[in-house]
Each structure stands twice: as C-alpha cells, then as structure tokens.
Structure 1
Amino acid sequence: MSAPALSGVLEAAIYVDDLDATEAFYGGLLGLERIVRVDGRHVFFRCGTTVVLAFVAEATAHPPAPDALPVPTHGAKGPGHICFAAPDKGMDALAAHLTAAGVDIESDFRWPHGPRSLYVRDPAGNSVEFADPALWSLDV
C-alpha cells in the first residue's frame, strides 16, 4: 500500500528566544499577518496558504496540561532554516528593503540552474532564505 499524496506544507516551525523581536522581524519587516500570540510561548504568522510557527523552544518542551489539547512536546536547539517563496522579479526590491532596515544579507546568488536566493538571519539566528520558486521546479 502506498502513502496518500500530500498537497504541500501546511506549517513550518522556527524556534526563537524573543517574541517581540520575532514579531518585529516577521510581522513588521516582512509584513506577515499575526494570527495569534501567547506571551512566553509562541507567535504564529500567516504566509499565503502556509503558517509560520515561531516557538520559544523551552516552552514547547513541557507536556500539555491535562485539560489542554494533546499536542506532543517538541522543540529544537540552535538556529534552524526557513525559506520564503519570492519571485525573481521582486528580489532586488526585497534586498533593498532588508538592507534599508539594517538587515545584513548573508548571501545573494543564483543557483546553477538559474533561480536566485537571498539569505539573512532573523533575530534568533535562524537562517531565513528568500528564493525564486523555480528553485524547486520539477525540472531540478
């Protein structure tokens, strides 16, 4: 029996240490819509049809209370990675926006098959990539 086809990634999690700085970066600078925030634990953002979950790792290591939803413990240690789809035609404007906001561009290059990627770090040190969706086209 084969697995059913999956239709995409519904959510992606990053782990942070400062929710105010996280909200300023993802909500303020990148313009993602905040869905919900629980101080000391998480802030969630909408990005197209996907949700970015930003958790304080230590807070997710505790089992849920008996009367809470049965979400298992999880978390990560150290910086992670997230990549946002950013069409090539808007990449120069995005790079200028990030630079004007004082965000250092760690890397800006074209992959051997043509798509461009920009890499920066968020306030928690996570690697944040902005890539032309052609990066993972079916021709790769």
Structure 2
Amino acid sequence: MARAPEVCGVLEAAVYVTDLDAAQAFYEGLLGLEVIVRVEGRHAFFRAGPDSESVVLCFIAEATRVPPPPGARLPVPPHGAEGQGHVALAVASEHLAGWADYLKENNVEIEADFLWPTGRRSIYLRDPAGNSVELADRGLWRGEA
C-alpha cells in the first residue's frame, strides 16, 4: 500500500446541539470564540482562537441529516450524531489557572480539573447540550511537561 499524503492538523470539530442560541451564548459569550457564520435552525460555527484555522462547528443534528438537493452549490453529505460529544480547545498552560478562576466566577460547573501523567492540565465542563468541552494544555499530546 502506498503511503498517505501528509495531514496538517484538525481543521474542524463538530458537536451536535439542540439550541443554537444556548450554544452561541456558551461558545461566544462564555468561551469568547468568534462567530464565523450562523444559519438559523441548522448551525453556528466558531473560530477556536484568534488567528486560528481551527473551527468548532455546532450543528442541529436533525437539520444536517437532510441530504442536499440535486445540484446544490455546497453538496455536503448528510451527517448527525446522537448523545454527548467531546471537543478539546487548546489553551496555553499559563492561562489554565485563569480559566479555572473565570469559570468559577461565572458559576460554571467544572466537571473535572486534573493533571495528566505528563504534568499537563485539563479542565472539563459541559456545554448546554451536554457535550464535554475540555480546556487542555496545548502541549498535552507533546509528552512530558
């Protein structure tokens, strides 16, 4: 088998939500992510950090399961998931303590806050749809701290 061409990284991560207003209040209002586009009843997309190419896609599953009409300008195949998903946002290690304080000050429940065996920290919380949102040390997958 031939070797696969190189992948640059993750461009998008999708979570499925039930309420776009609640999702926007969470991802934009609480987490400070920039809204890129919103289509009522279907999706809202958020840039995952300034100057970032990474995007968090929040979809209403029922709307994204509908196949595109023949000849659609954007023939994105149907998709949609049930249940709680997960997305991890990269955070500079020096900002994680500030995130923990900020979440507590805003009465946001922190589901878990711990150090991995490598010494890297993760803070977990839930979005309004029940998805697990992780604020993780951006070096988490690089190994030792």
Normalising TM by the smaller chain, what interval? over 0.9
SS of residue matched to 1:3 = coil
> Aligned-pair distance for 1:49?
1.7
Do residues 133 (structure 1) and 134 (structure 2) align?
no
SS of residue matched to 1:58 = helix
The CA deviation string for residues 17-76 of structure 1, in whole angstroms up to 9 with x for no partner, is 000000000011111110110111000011122011100011111111224221100010
Provide the residue aligned with 1:14 in structure 2: 15
Among residues 64, 83, 87, which one is paired with 1:78 in the alignment? 83
In 1, Cα distance between equivalents of 2:71 and 2:43: 19
Percent identical among aligned pairs is 59
| Number of residues of Structure 1 aligned to a counterpart in Structure 2 | 140
1:66 maps to a residue whose letter is P
Among residues 107, 116, 129, which one is paired with 1:111 in the alignment? 116
Which segments of 5 or more consecutive residues in structure 2 lack a partner in the other structure? Answer: none
Contact 2:119 2:144 in 1 (8 A): no
Provide the residue aligned with 1:23 in structure 2: 24
Contact 2:118 2:143 in 1 (8 A): no
Give the TM-score normalised by the residue count of structure 2.
Answer: 0.92
Contact 2:42 2:63 in 1 (8 A): yes
Provide the residue aligned with 1:64 in structure 2: 68
1:122 maps to a residue whose letter is D
SS of residue matched to 1:114 = coil
SS of residue matched to 1:52 = strand
Which segments of 5 or more consecutive residues in structure 1 lack a partner in the other structure? Answer: none
